Structure 1
C-alpha cells in the first residue's frame, strides 16, 4: 500500500516529534531542597535521638551522603555560593539585608545555564539574593517563582507572598504551601526536563509549626542536652524539621507517582548551622560561627539506578561544588570568564577518584575567616585543630605544628586580600533598581528604605519590618533607587491606620514627578504572630496591611531618591507602611 506524500510527511513529523520528546524526557530532572537554619545534627540520619526524619534519611541511604560538606555561617552567602559555584564575596554578597544580600548581576547562576539548555525552571520559597529585578529570581534563570525574597518572614500561616513579582496571599502553613506549589510545577512540566529549587523557610525563626508536628514534642523529655540549650526552642525546631521531612516525603511520592523518580537528581542540604544551641554531634559553633558546627551541613544526592546507593564520601566538599557537579552530571558545557571556586564531585559520587588532591575550603562571615583542609581546621583566631583526632575543637595544636600553621595562616591572609579586592570591584553602595526591562512589578519594601525624623522600624531586624511612628511633617521615608526604564507606573502602597487618624495627606516623589495621596479609609488590624509562636521571637510581629492605589506616575530613567513625606496630619500619625508596589502600565 502506498502512502500519499502528505500522509508520509505527517508520519515522519510525528515520528520525529516523538523521538524529540523521548530525548527531552531522557534528560534528568533536578530537584534541590534547601532547609533554612537546620543544623547537621537535626536529622535522625546523623544520630539525633530526639526526632525522626525517615524521608530525608532515605535520600542518604538510597543516594550518596557527603560526611564533610560545608556551607556558609548564614543564609544568603550559602545561596549565592550554590547558585554560582563561587565564593559569595566574589558576587558582592556581604550581608543578609539592606541590599547586601544581592548577588552581582555579572554572576551567572546554574539556573540560567539550565534554562538556556532547555530546562523549565521554578523556585518556590525563600530566595534571599535580591528582590527587585534584575536581582529577582525571575531574572536569574527561574521561569516561575513563588515565595518571598526577604531574609526571614514574620508569619508562616497564609502569609503575604509573591508570585513572579505580584503580591499574593499564601495558602496554609508556609512550608506545606511551598512544597505543594513545587509539586504542581512538577506535574505540569513532567514531559520536559525541569529544575525545581525548593528553599524552605524552616526551621528559621519565628518558631511556628502546626500542632500536628508540635504536639509530640510539647511534653517530650529531650536526650543529649547541650550547654545553654533552650529546650522549648529546640522542641519547636525539631517539630519544624519533622514537618520538613513530611514535605520531602510528599514531593518524593509525587516524583514516584509520575514515574520520574529514577530520572530525577535530588539534592538535599541546609544553608548553615543550627539557629540555637542544641544537639549537633558535639561540634563547636552554631549559626553565625565559622567553627565546624556553624558551617557543616548534611548533603545527600540521590539519582536512583544511576548513583550507587548507600555510599558515604569522606572527602571535604562545599556549596561552591554543586554548580560544577551538576554541569558534569548533566554533560553540559559551561564556559565562563568567571571560573568556579568549586570543583565537580562526580568522581567522588561514582567512586572514580583514584587520586583526589587535598584542598582548602574557606568560610567567612562578619570579618571572621576559618579554613578547612581534609584533616585540619584553622579558626578565625589562628588556632589549629586536628579534626580527625579532635572533632570538637578542644585542643589547639598550632604550637606543635608551627610550619603547617604558618602555611595555612598565609593562605587565609592571601584569600582575604583576594576577597577584599573582589568586594572593591562591586559597588559598595548600590541603588535599589526600579522598573527593569521585562519586569512588570517592582516592590519597594520597608526593609529597603530609610527612616528619617521620628519614624521607626517595627523591629531592629529589617527583613519583615514595617515603618511606624510617622507623626511629624518633618518625618520622611526614602529609598535610593535607579529607574532602569522610563515609563508610566501604577503605584500601590500597603498601609494600616486607625479610624481616629484617617485624613492624613502625603506625597510620594521621585525626581520631579510625584503623586499625592490621602488616607481616607481606616484599616487597623492588630499585630499578629505571637498567637502561633512556640517561643518568643526576636523578629518583628506583623499585621495584615491593606493596599491603597495612588494612581499613575511618570518615571524617568536614572538614579534618584524615592521619598514619602506628609503634607497634613489631622490626627496623631500618618500611617504604618510596609510596602510600595510599582506596576508598569505601558
Structure 2
C-alpha cells in the first residue's frame, strides 16, 4: 500500500516527457487558473507562518514566490467558504450557510465560477471535495464543471460517505460511483494533473482536498516524524502528505510548460482545528468561532507571467468573496448580466497598481440556523464580534481586550453596517433549496440525513447513534416529472444491507475504526409528502420500508419520513431515502 517518492517522481517525469515541448505556446494568452483548497488546515499549520515543528517545504516555497494576503478571511466553516469562493457572495446571501441541515447548497439562480468560466471558453474540472450539493441540480457538473471527480458530503464518514475509506475508497465520476486505488489526496492530485495534461484551451482546475479534515487517517511514514508528546501526529502527517503532493504538482507545472501562464492559488477553508492547541499563530479561537482564529485563512497567489512584481505580503483585509471578481479581472472574463458580488477584485493589489481597494466593511457569518449578530464585522484593524465586543488588531492581535466602551463611535459604525447588511440577507434565510425528484439527470435520487432541514445529522456517528429526534427532519424537494414514485426508507446506508432493526457492529478501516451503531425496534415507517400521510409496516428482517406514491410535476414540497415501533411510537428519522420515478 505504501507508495514511494521515487515512483511519483518517475511518473511525473514520464508524464512530462509525453507532452509537446510547445504545449504552453499552443495555448492562448488567457491564463489558466489552478485553485488548491485544503480542508481544515489552519493559518498556523504552515512552516512559513511560524509553526516550529510542522515541515511544509513546498507550501513554504510557494509562499516565497507569491503575493500573500496576510489579513484574508474565510467563513469559520467549510461549506460557507466554498460557496463564497465560487459565487463571490456572502454565505447568507447565496444560501450555503452551513455544512448540513438543508443549508449546504448555493441557490441555483446564482451563477458560479465554473459556469461563468465555461461560458467564456474555459475548460473546467473539479477533483476532490465539492460539498455544495450531492443531488441534482446542485452537483458540480450541474453548476459548470465539465469534468467532475469528487466525493459526497463533507468527507469520508459523512452520512452519504458513511463507511468510505481514505485508502482504496469510493468516489464519483460525473455522478457515477467508482473506486480509487491508494490514498485519497494522492488520487485527487493524480486526476487533476492527468486532466490538465490533456487541455488545449485555458482551464479552471479546482483541487479542493478533503484532507487534513478528520478522520485523521494517513500512512505512518507521514505521521511518524510527529509522534511526540503534545503533537497531533496524524493531522500533521496529512499536511505533510499534501505538501508532498504540492511538490509533485509544481514539478508537473514546470515540466509541462504551464507554470508561467497559470495562476496558482493556495487557500485554506476556515480556522485551525487539529493543530491549534500546539500552535495557532497567535490567533484567538479556532474553526466555527467568530474570533480571528476561526476565519483567518492562508491565501497565496502566484502568476509568473502576470506582472505581479516581486513576491510580497499585502496587509489589506480581503475575503474569499473577492476571489471570483479577481479571477474575472485577471482572465478577461465578463461577469454574467445581473451578477452581483459582495467581493471586490484584488487585481490592483496583485499587480501593484494600487495600495488599497477602497474603504469597506466585511461581514463574516455562517450558521445552521443563522441568527442576527452571530457575526464578526471587519473594518481595517477593527473587529466587532457578536455585535458588542470590539477589538483593535493593530495593538491586540490576540483579541484579549474588548475596547468597545473606549471607542463607541467605531462600534456604532460597525453595528450600523451590520444592520444594513442583515436587512439585505434576512428575507431569504428561511428558504431551502429543493432537491429535484424524477429529473432525467438523476433518477433515482439518494437522500441522506445530511440534508434534513434545520437538523444537524451529517456523519456516521450521528447516524449510528440515531440523533435528530424521534422524527428527524424533512427534505425540501421539487418534482420534475409527474408519475409514480417508489420511496424506499433505510435505517442504515442502503449498500450495507442491514436489517432495519439491526445493530451495526464496529467496522475496521485501513487506519481506524467506525464505531458500532445502536439497534432500534423498528416495526414500520410513516411518510408525509405532497399532502399525503402514509404508514407502512416493516417486514421481518427487511432492510427498507417502501412506499409508492403519485407525485405531480411542478410540486414543491417537503418529504418527511420516520420510523416507528410496534406501538406506533416515533423512534427516529429515516436517515436514508431512495426516490425512484417508476414511470408516468
Q: TM-score, normalised by structure 1?
A: 0.77
| Cα distance change, pair 364–166 in 1 and its aligned pair in 2 (3 A) | same
2:224 is equivalent to residue 215 of structure 1: yes
Counterparts of 1:376 and 1:202 in 2: how far apart (Å)? 32
Counterparts of 2:54 and 2:515 in 1: how far apart (Å)? 25
Q: Residue 484 of structure 1 corresponds to which residue in structure 2?
A: 480
Counterparts of 1:539 and 1:266 in 2: how far apart (Å)? 43
Q: Residue 525 of structure 2 corresponds to which residue in structure 1?
A: none
Q: Residue 527 of structure 1 corresponds to which residue in structure 2?
A: 506
| Cα distance change, pair 528–374 in 1 and its aligned pair in 2 (3 A) | same
Q: Residue 348 of structure 1 corresponds to which residue in structure 2?
A: 349
Q: Residue 281 of structure 1 corresponds to which residue in structure 2?
A: 281
Residues 435 and 477 in structure 2, CA contact (< 8 A), matched pair in contact too? yes
1:413 Cα deviation after fit: 2.5
1:339 Cα deviation after fit: 1.8
Counterparts of 1:53 and 1:348 in 2: how far apart (Å)? 26
| Cα distance change, pair 431–57 in 1 and its aligned pair in 2 (3 A) | same
Counterparts of 1:335 and 1:28 in 2: how far apart (Å)? 20
Q: Residue 269 of structure 1 corresponds to which residue in structure 2?
A: 267
1:537 Cα deviation after fit: 8.5
2:458 is equivalent to residue 462 of structure 1: yes
Residues 148 and 162 in structure 1, CA contact (< 8 A), matched pair in contact too? yes
| Cα distance change, pair 528–585 in 1 and its aligned pair in 2 (3 A) | farther
2:247 is equivalent to residue 244 of structure 1: no
Counterparts of 1:399 and 1:477 in 2: how far apart (Å)? 43
Residues 508 and 514 in structure 2, CA contact (< 8 A), matched pair in contact too? no
1:447 Cα deviation after fit: 3.1
Among 128, 131, 147, which residue is 1:128 paired with? Answer: 131
| Cα distance change, pair 583–236 in 1 and its aligned pair in 2 (3 A) | farther
Counterparts of 1:191 and 1:309 in 2: how far apart (Å)? 29
Residues 121 and 144 in structure 1, CA contact (< 8 A), matched pair in contact too? yes
Residues 123 and 144 in structure 1, CA contact (< 8 A), matched pair in contact too? yes
| Cα distance change, pair 441–213 in 1 and its aligned pair in 2 (3 A) | farther
1:425 Cα deviation after fit: 3.0
| Cα distance change, pair 529–90 in 1 and its aligned pair in 2 (3 A) | farther
1:375 Cα deviation after fit: 1.5
| Cα distance change, pair 469–57 in 1 and its aligned pair in 2 (3 A) | closer
Partner-residue secondary structure (3-state), 1:266: strand
| Cα distance change, pair 403–134 in 1 and its aligned pair in 2 (3 A) | same
Q: Residue 194 of structure 1 corresponds to which residue in structure 2?
A: 203
Q: Residue 252 of structure 2 corresponds to which residue in structure 1?
A: 254
Q: Residue 13 of structure 1 corresponds to which residue in structure 2?
A: none
5 Å-filtered alignment, 1:70-81, equals 70-81=73-84
Partner-residue secondary structure (3-state), 2:34: strand
Partner-residue secondary structure (3-state), 2:494: strand
Among 369, 372, 378, which residue is 2:375 paired with? Answer: 369
Q: Residue 178 of structure 1 corresponds to which residue in structure 2?
A: 188
Q: Residue 390 of structure 1 corresponds to which residue in structure 2?
A: 396
Counterparts of 1:383 and 1:478 in 2: how far apart (Å)? 37
Counterparts of 1:319 and 1:178 in 2: how far apart (Å)? 23
5 Å-filtered alignment, 1:441-456, equals 442-448=445-451
Q: Deviations over 1:340-380 (max 9, x none)?
A: 11111011011100554232121113431111122211111
Q: Residue 320 of structure 1 corresponds to which residue in structure 2?
A: 321
Q: Deviations over 1:403-442 (max 9, x none)?
A: 222222222222223221xxx2365244432233544663
Q: Residue 38 of structure 2 corresponds to which residue in structure 1?
A: 35
| Cα distance change, pair 201–443 in 1 and its aligned pair in 2 (3 A) | same
Counterparts of 2:380 and 2:549 in 1: how far apart (Å)? 58
Residues 452 and 472 in structure 2, CA contact (< 8 A), matched pair in contact too? no
**Which is greater in Rg?**
1
Residues 125 and 205 in structure 2, CA contact (< 8 A), matched pair in contact too? yes
Residues 205 and 537 in structure 1, CA contact (< 8 A), matched pair in contact too? no
1:322 Cα deviation after fit: 0.2
Counterparts of 1:479 and 1:355 in 2: how far apart (Å)? 45
Gaps of 5+ in 2: 1-21, 158-164, 519-542
| Cα distance change, pair 491–537 in 1 and its aligned pair in 2 (3 A) | closer
Q: Residue 540 of structure 2 corresponds to which residue in structure 1?
A: none
| Pairs aligned (count) | 512
2:406 is equivalent to residue 400 of structure 1: yes
Gaps of 5+ in 1: 1-18, 222-230, 451-456, 505-522, 542-546
1:59 Cα deviation after fit: 1.7
1:581 Cα deviation after fit: 7.3
Q: Deviations over 1:208-241 (max 9, x none)?
A: 11112111112x35xxxxxxxxx35x32221111
